[in-house]
Amino acid sequence: MNEMIEQLKRHRSIRKYKPDPLAEEQLRSIVESAQAASTSSNLQAYSVVAVTDRGTKAALSRLAADQAYIAECPVFLVWCADLNRLLIAASAASEGEARIPATTEMFILATVDAALAAQNAAIAAESLGLGIVFIGGIRDDPDGVSRLLGLPKYVYPVFGMCVGYPDQEPDLRPRLPLETVLHRERYSSDSFAAGIERYDGELRRFMLTRAGGKRDTTWSKEMAQRLAIRKRDHMRTFLREKGFDLE
């Protein structure tokens, strides 16, 4: 048995937390673990804002579709793609003022860096007996989040993360069959039909149990509903205003 692999496979999103605060050493260990994540060309193009103030968490909750667990968790981490620090460092080392390349690649690099660091943080938190849930809802009003947290140009909030001691024991949500995700040598969709059909049945049983028989759905139905809705069209304009021109 590999304890790390077993821990990873036990991951669950936690949406209810005990009021117990995190120790400063726990928070530092979580972020130090995030810093150990891989980063393209050593850019380290991300920052994280740790929010513990009740008022600020409540405000962030309102900006993210009133998700109550943001206000209730002991620490809310806002993971940001950050090119501002690179600009400051490069400008100090250059004869003239440095410039951030307005390319899609720079946007991708910073976003991926933030995601890799956050996943390391999630694993570290869970190893300490804590629970987490990622919050994409902060992109519902990224401008409001930016103003609240003082995020400058070239910094945008990618997602949030609630962290705290779990006050619930949710069941493990089933995932797609391995053969629909793992491809050998070349991409192939041959296994998709059978694998998705099997997964639809598994997820339907899970959702019926979780919701006490009140939610009868499948993965395919949920994905069809998701693809039928355009979400967060404001992000392109917001990112341009932040300096991520995506040329």
Average pLDDT, the chain: 95
12-27: average pLDDT = 97
pLDDT at 227 over 90: yes
Per DSSP, helices labelled H in 128-185 are 142-149
168-186: average pLDDT = 96
CA distances from 162 to 51, 175, 215 (A): 10, 22, 26
- Written as six digits, the tokens of 130 are 């804590």
Of the candidates 111, 106, 96, 125, the one whose C-alpha atom is nearest the C-alpha of residue 33 is: 125
The percentage of residues in the chain with a pLDDT greater than 70, rounded to a whole number, is: 100
State residue 95's pLDDT score.
77
State residue 212's pLDDT score.
80
State residue 240's pLDDT score.
92
pLDDT tens digits, one per residue of 178-214: 999 999 999 999 999 999 999 999 999 999 988 787 8
Of the candidates 176, 168, 177, the one whose C-alpha atom is nearest the C-alpha of residue 210 is: 168
The percentage of residues in the chain with a pLDDT greater than 90, rounded to a whole number, is: 91
Rounded-to-integer distance, Cα 243 and Cα 80, Å? 14
pLDDT tens digits, one per residue of 140-150: 999 999 999 99
pLDDT tens digits, one per residue of 20-55: 999 999 999 999 999 999 999 999 999 999 999 999
Rounded-to-integer distance, Cα 173 and Cα 178, Å? 15
State residue 107's pLDDT score.
94
pLDDT tens digits, one per residue of 85-125: 999 999 999 877 889 988 899 999 999 999 999 999 999 99
Res. 245 pLDDT band, cuts 50 70 90: confident
pTM for the full predicted model: 0.95
